[in-house]
Amino acid sequence: MKKLINDPNTVVEEMMEGIVQAYPQYVRKLEGFNVLVRADAPVNGKVALVSGGGSGHEPAHGGYVGKGMLDGAVAGAVFTSPTPDAIYEAIKAVNGGAGVLLVVKNYTGDVMNFDMAKEMAEMDGIKVDSVVVNDDVAVENSTWTTGRRGIAGTVFVHKIAGAAADKGMTLEEVKRVGEKVIANVRSMGMALTPCTVPAAGKPSFTLAENEMEIGIGIHGEPGTHRESVKAADEIADELLNKILADLPYESGDEVAVMVNGMGGTPLMELFVINRHVASVLKEKGIKVYRTFVGEYMTSLEMQGASITLLKLDDELKGLLDAPSDTIAFKDFGR
């Protein structure tokens, strides 16, 4: 295992310290917990958003803490759900009196632990609600999931529900907006190479020299199938076809596109993918309102990509374009 780390046992702690030392204007860490909250948390009177999950998906989720997105992000061990007590501490630290919305990716452990934390906070009289993101169209159930997995589309939930909260909407309204995003966002990914969890020391699966996995999850969970590596355009077609078949899309619809790198993929390749996505959508008369190309939801050093489409209406467009200011999300189009 070749990694720029000191010790698998302290890598998450050390990463958290490195983030806070780099970006104290955005985040502070809760003492004793791998939780990052807005430097100015709690924001009084605003609905607060808390998300999180296993580490290894950086810049998710700490990179999305800041104005117009998350108020808190909880980091578990690598590819491991955060504990209820850490989530509970995050909720308490960001609660500004208007309630807290939990944005949970659909993995059994995450859902369970966020639910327990919600109950703990409710016993303190904090109003808490949650939404569960399940944008991955690849498979219905998977290694750690009942139902569909939550992957890169989660970042659109952070952005848009975060904007709703920033505009002063109530917890009910922010939840409604979050669920509207979830109803309209679809993703699918693939990998050229596996990745190595530091504590394991070896890749969690292997792929032959000319093999790729289609529909893979962000922890290397099995996808739909393995096949020989094809041209980028054909790979993009495989992902897009499944995404486009999952919701009714009509000519004239508007979407936001995210072409997300899995951690080890050069930007060059993501842009080659985006070229084809743009051309397929154009052919179908689907209008691309905004595009985001980069690393948003990763799997350590895995090489691969996912494609996300979010169907937009006027409300979602407005909130997508609302200003945000976080470590990792760059606003566009203003």
Tell me if the bond preceding 194 is cis, omega within 30° of 0: no
Give Cα separations from 220 to 73, 92, 99, 210, 315 (angstroms).
22, 33, 35, 17, 35
Q: Return d(Cα 289, Cα 284) in angstroms, integer.
A: 14
For the CA atoms of 220, 111, 242, 307, what is the dihedral angle to 10 degrees? -70
The two tokens of residue 197 are 């969890």
Pick from 112, 199, 245, 267 the residue near its own copies by CB under 8 A. Answer: 267
Q: Does 2 bind its own copies (CB under 8 A)?
A: yes
Taking alpha carbons only, the member of 147, 98, 93 closest to residue 127 is 98
Binding track, positions 166-205, relative to its own copies; x by CB under 8 A? --------------------------xx------------
Q: Nearer to its own copies by C-beta: 121 or 327?
A: 327
Per-residue exposure over 253-278, b if at least 16 CB sit within 10 Å of its own CB, e if not: bbbbbbbbbbbbbeeebbebbbebbe
Give the binding range for its own copies (CB under 8 A) out of 83-91, 97-105, 145-153, 265-273: 265-273
CB of 164 to its own copies, least distance (A): 23
Tell me if the bond preceding 276 is cis, omega within 30° of 0: no
Per-residue exposure over 31-66, b if at least 16 CB sit within 10 Å of its own CB, e if not: eebbbbbbeebbbeebbbbbbbbbbbbbbbbbbbbb
Give the binding range for its own copies (CB under 8 A) out of 22-30, 45-53, 174-182, 307-315: 22-30
Binding track, positions 215-254, relative to its own copies; x by CB under 8 A? --------------x-xxx-x-------------------
**Amino acid residing at 169:** M
Q: Nearer to its own copies by C-beta: 125 or 210?
A: 210
Q: Does 56 bind its own copies (CB under 8 A)?
A: yes
Q: Does 119 bind its own copies (CB under 8 A)?
A: no
CB of 270 to its own copies, least distance (A): 8
Name the catalytic one among 158, 219, 225, 276.
Answer: 219
Q: Nearer to its own copies by C-beta: 111 or 300?
A: 300
Pick from 51, 184, 265, 308 the residue near its own copies by CB under 8 A. Answer: 265
Interface residues for its own copies in 70-99 (CB under 8 A)?
Answer: none
SS3 36: strand
Instruction: Tell me whether residue 57 is one of the annotated catalytic residues.
Output: yes
The two tokens of residue 145 are 């999931």
Tell me the Cα Rg of the chain.
Answer: 19
Q: Return d(Cα 147, Cα 134) in angstroms, integer.
A: 8
Q: Nearer to its own copies by C-beta: 7 or 172?
A: 7
Helix axes 84-94, 108-123, angle to 10 degrees: 50
Instruction: Tell me whether residue 158 is one of the annotated catalytic residues.
Output: no
Binding track, positions 272-291, relative to its own copies; x by CB under 8 A? xxxx--xx--------x--x
Which parts of this chain interact with its own copies (CB under 8 A)? 2-7, 11, 14-19, 21-23, 25-26, 55-56, 58-59, 63, 192-193, 209-210, 212, 229, 231-233, 235, 257, 259, 263-275, 278-279, 288, 291-293, 295, 298, 300-301, 303-305, 327-328, 330, 332-333
Indicate which residues carry an active-site annotation.
57, 219
